[in-house]
């Protein structure tokens, strides 16, 4: 097991920087193909966006800690924040895509958690008094 720790300030402008580091690491150090790399990047970007927009209410100045962990057969990203906790019901009921919408009814948001669950193999969310932890795990293809 090898781990890279990243710390970013809670500003949307920092997400591409974290994504760039993540991309570099998984391109060099994992057997993920381009589609799998995109999945991991998308899941992490969605998670960071949720944390900044919701846990920190869009406020900068807070630190988000990412641990990028390389295992033998999978890759895990653990994301720690100290903002407002996610409502448990949202973690269990991700956005269900529907096939028929009128133009006016088309959704403009709410895909984040659904996409995270589609893009990685395992999602765990836990919290204690001071910290929220989101763990995203994706296995290497056989």
Partner 1 sequence: MPTASTKKQGSLMCLIITAQHGKYTVICMTEKRLDAQIALSFRENIKKLADEGHRFIIFDLTSVHFIDSSGLGAIVASLKLLGNQGNLILCGANENVSRLFMLTHMNKVFSIYMTLDEALAIET
User: Is residue 27 near partner 1 by the rule CB under 8 A?
Assistant: no
Q: In terms of Cα–Cα distance, which of 142, 7, 139, 141 is closest to 76?
A: 139
User: Is residue 81 near partner 1 by the rule CB under 8 A?
Assistant: no
Task: Determine the Cα–Cα distance for residues 51 and 117; give it in Å rounded to an integer.
Answer: 16
Tokens of 131: 């910290």
Tokens of 19: 């994504």
User: Is residue 97 near partner 1 by the rule CB under 8 A?
Assistant: yes
Task: Determine the Cα–Cα distance for residues 19 and 48; give it in Å rounded to an integer.
Answer: 10
**Site track for partner 1 across 119-138, x = CB under 8 A:** --------------------
**Binding region for partner 1 (CB under 8 A):** 9, 11-16, 19, 34-35, 38, 41-42, 45-46, 49, 52-53, 60-61, 97-99, 101, 103-104, 106-112, 114-115, 118
């Amino acid at each position: 097991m090898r781990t890279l720790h990243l710390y970013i300030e809670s500003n949307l402008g920092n997400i591409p920087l974290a994504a760039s580091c993540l991309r570099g690491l998984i391109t060099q150090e994992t057997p993920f193909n381009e589609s799998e790399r995109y999945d991991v990047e998308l899941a992490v970007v969605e998670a960071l966006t949720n944390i900044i927009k919701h846990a920190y209410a869009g406020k900068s100045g807070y630190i988000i800690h990412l641990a990028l962990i390389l295992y033998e057969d999978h890759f895990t990203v653990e994301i720690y924040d100290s903002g407002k906790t996610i409502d448990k019901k949202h973690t269990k009921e991700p956005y269900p895509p529907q096939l028929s919408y009128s133009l006016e009814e088309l959704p403009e948001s709410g895909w984040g958690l659904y996409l995270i669950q589609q893009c990685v193999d395992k999602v765990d969310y836990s919290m204690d008094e001071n910290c929220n932890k989101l763990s995203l795990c994706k296995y290497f293809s056989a």
